[in-house]
Amino acid sequence: MSDCIFCKIVEGQLPCNSVYEDDEVLAFHDIRPFARVHFLIIPKAHIATLADAEPAQERLLGKMLLLAPRLAKEQGLEAGFKTLVNTGRGGGQEVFHLHMHVFGGGDPVRPV
């Protein structure tokens, strides 16, 4: 997807402050963090929204979920964190490349 900013980050055409990378997944700090720690976990493959994910991507989605606690701990969120996947315009999604927000480090009820 040539016009997708997260694909450009995956391809190295745009910079990011990465926290994890493997052949299928990339995680990087959000450019406008809304908590002390706020990063995004994305698949390297372009999947526009969670609603576009397919059964064949079940393992990839599970991998993203299982990475969240591991990376959150590495980023200093030992006490816990929040996850968020905005899906579609009605869900407030702004970047149409699937991503999971992982954030925390402030007030546990209202970390924003």
Binding site for ligand 5GP (CB under 6 A): 5, 14, 16, 28, 30-32, 86, 92-95
| Residue whose CB is nearest to Zn ion in the complex, by number | 4
Nearest to 75 by CA among 42, 16, 29: 29
Contacts of 84-92 with CB under 8 Å at 24 or more apart are 85/50, 87/49, 87/50, 87/51, 88/49, 88/51
Radius of gyration of the chain measured on its C-alpha atoms: 13
Q: Do 30 and 40 touch, CB atoms closer than 8 A?
A: yes
Distance from C-alpha of 110 to C-alpha of 100, rounded to nearest angstrom: 18
Q: State whether residue 44 is helix, strand or coil.
A: coil
Nearest-approach distance from CB 106 to ligand 5GP, in angstroms: 16
Nearest-approach distance from CB 43 to ligand 5GP, in angstroms: 14
99 is catalytic: yes
- Contact status: 25 vs Zn ion (CB under 5 A): no
- Contact status: 6 vs Zn ion (CB under 5 A): yes
C-beta closer to ligand 5GP: residue 23 or 94: 94
Q: Which does 5 bind (CB under 5 to 8 A by kind): ligand 5GP, Zn ion, none?
A: ligand 5GP
The residues binding Zn ion (CB under 5 A) are 1, 4, 6-7, 46, 97
Active site residues: 99
